[in-house]
Every structure is written in structure tokens, then in C-alpha cells.
């Protein structure tokens, strides 16, 4: 984690992490604007770190780090050092980055315009949702200013992933489905 922090000038600075393409269709522009406004209003030095291919040609600046594409090791290192995972996209079909964050015990902040990620955050108890800037500010403030709440949400997410998406959990549901299909077949065939 220290090497990642040193490489991107994040020593001693809390950071909010976005994983995935830096793309206007993924909510990246809004995330940058909201985080910049949050820093201005709150006076925090928390940074926004965006890891992924930059489709917007974003200029890194005060409190904004754009790493470009990172390999798996660096991705997990970035997750391990983050305070919160921010998922600003309104167009997700599952939210793999949420699962990855929860595996590391990291809470998530999701755009409530995406029913999938909002549903996952609510069912798991592993994160918060925001819509407009004021709810972003309130949610992020809660997460950054209350580490015990942050840890509790991250722990909820980790439990949810273990209960719902571990190999044993998925295999158990699959076997149950197969048993129902087999038992519903008419006899004599």
C-alpha cells in the first residue's frame, strides 16, 4: 500500500477510489465535480483516485489522481489503501467493483440512479447511495468522518459477499435449482 501511495503522492492522505474506465458514460465527470466541491466545502485533503483507462483525457490536479490502467496487483493495493470505493455509474449490471471492495472490507458509495448497485448496497448493508450533490456530501462526510461506521459497512459487505457469492453459496443454489427441476419432471420419462 505504501508503494502505491508514494507513487501517486498520497502519503498520509485519505482517498476515495473509483475503479473502471474514466468515462462520462460511467459518471466520471460527475464524480470529479462532486469530489472537487466536497474538498472545497469541507476543507478535507481527501483525494479522488481514478484507476482505469482514461477516456476523458482528465488532467490530474489538486486532489485528483488518474492512474490509467492498473494491473490486478495494483488494483488490489489501491483497494487496500482506500477509505471508500465510489461507484458513480448509472449503468452497471452487477457491480464487480463493489464485490472487490467488500472482499477487502471497504464500504461503497454508489449513485442511486443505478438500481443494481443501489440494491446491492442496501441489501448488503455495505454502503450508501447518493443522488444529487447534497446527498453525496452527507454520505461521504459520514464515511470519512466516522471510521467506525465505515468499518461496520465494510464488514457488512464482506459478510454479504461470503453469504451470497462464495463458491459454496452459489453451488448450493445451483444444486437446489437442479433438484427442483429434476423433481418437477413427470415420472415415466
| Dist. CA 76–CA 97, nearest whole Å | 11
Digit-coded pLDDT (tens) for 87-114: 999 999 888 999 999 999 999 999 999 9
pLDDT < 50 positions in the chain: none
CB 16 within 8 A of CB 86: yes
| Dist. CA 64–CA 22, nearest whole Å | 12
Phi/psi at 102 (nearest 5 deg)? -65, -35
Q: Which positions ≥6 away from 107 have C-beta within 8 Å?
A: 84, 85, 101, 126, 127, 128, 143, 150, 153, 154, 157
| Dist. CA 19–CA 165, nearest whole Å | 20
CB 77 within 8 A of CB 10: no
Q: Which positions ≥6 away from 122 have C-beta within 8 Å?
A: 129
CB 122 within 8 A of CB 109: no
Proportion of the chain above pLDDT 90, given as a percent: 82
Closest CA to 99 of 26, 16, 18, 162: 162
* pTM: predicted TM-score of the whole model, two decimal places: 0.90
What's the confidence (pLDDT) of residue 89? 96
Q: Which positions ≥6 away from 99 have C-beta within 8 Å?
A: 161, 165
Burial zone of 13 (CB within 10 Å; 0-12 exposed, 13-18 middle, 19+ buried): middle
What's the confidence (pLDDT) of residue 180? 87
Digit-coded pLDDT (tens) for 34-43: 999 999 999 9
**Inter-CA distances, 144 with 14, 85, 106, 125, Å:** 8, 11, 12, 17
CB 125 within 8 A of CB 91: no
Q: Which positions ≥6 away from 71 have C-beta within 8 Å?
A: none
The torsion angle over the Cα atoms of residues 29, 129, 118 and 121, rounded to 10 degrees, is 120
Amino acid at each position: 500500500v505504501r508503494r502505491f501511495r508514494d507513487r501517486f503522492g498520497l502519503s498520509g492522505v485519505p482517498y476515495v477510489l473509483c475503479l473502471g474506465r474514466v468515462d462520462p458514460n460511467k459518471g466520471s465527470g460527475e464524480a470529479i465535480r462532486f469530489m472537487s466541491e466536497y474538498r472545497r466545502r469541507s476543507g478535507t485533503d481527501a483525494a479522488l483516485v481514478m484507476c482505469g483507462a482514461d477516456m476523458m483525457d482528465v488532467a490530474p490536479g489538486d486532489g485528483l489522481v488518474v492512474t490509467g490502467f492498473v494491473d490486478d496487483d495494483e488494483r488490489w493495493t489501491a483497494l487496500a489503501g482506500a477509505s471508500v470505493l465510489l461507484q458513480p455509474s448509472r449503468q452497471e449490471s452487477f457491480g464487480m467493483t463493489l464485490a472487490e471492495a467488500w472482499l477487502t472490507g471497504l464500504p461503497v458509495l454508489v449513485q442511486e440512479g443505478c438500481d443494481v448497485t443501489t440494491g446491492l448496497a442496501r441489501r448488503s448493508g455495505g454502503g450508501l447511495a447518493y443522488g444529487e450533490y447534497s446527498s453525496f456530501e452527507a454520505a461521504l462526510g459520514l464515511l470519512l468522518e466516522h471510521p467506525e461506521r465505515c468499518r461496520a459497512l465494510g464488514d457488512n459487505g464482506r459478510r454479504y459477499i461470503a453469504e451470497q457469492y462464495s463458491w459454496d453459496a452459489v453451488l448450493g443454489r445451483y444444486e437446489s435449482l437442479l433438484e427442483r427441476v429434476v423433481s418437477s419432471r413427470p415420472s415415466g420419462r
